[in-house]
Amino acid sequence: MMERFETAAGGLVLRKEKVLIVRVRVSADPKTGELRRGDSVWSFPKGHVEPGETLRRAAAREVFEETGWECSIARTVADIRYSFSRGGHPTRKRVRWYLMEPVRRTGRPDPDEILSCRWADFNAARRLLRYPSDLRLLSQLEKAA
């Protein structure tokens, strides 16, 4: 079976020791990787890279689409790599994460994908986030704050 590769980019948006997180409408079944309608999970805003788009631009666009916040990128934080199965196909994914600062909110979250977004202090974010990679990123942010 052919292995698939995906590249994504996301933002860790920090404001006064609070981080911006999103409740994503559709999540993957942890065992099969299949998408299940009606599920949701809290995570950091991220998404796919469009053809011809840089990782930095993709991260800024995804944060805006998922939160409505225009942000400036401070620096690269991490490259996270993980594997999962989607539709029975092994998939390897790389996500480039950027530390961002909010500039202004000029939009609204995409209702087809995002149920809500919120600013959470580190303790609240630790309770809400479920993906191990998100929790590791949160720990990095706490140490840097």
Mean pLDDT per 10-residue segment, the chain (145 residues): 90 96 75 64 96 98 97 96 83 96 94 92 97 94 83
Q: Domain coordinates of the chain in residue numbers?
A: 4-143
Q: What is the pTM for the complete model shown?
A: 0.87
Which residues, in sequence order, are CB contacts of 136 under 8 Å at separation 6+? 80
pLDDT at 3: 86
pLDDT at 61: 98
CATH number listed for the domain at residues 4-143? 3.90.79.10
| C-beta of residue 130 within 8 angstroms of C-beta of residue 41 | yes
pLDDT at 111: 86
Instruction: Label residue 109 left, alpha or beta by phi (over 0 means left) and psi (-120 to 50 means alpha).
Output: beta
pLDDT at 83: 86
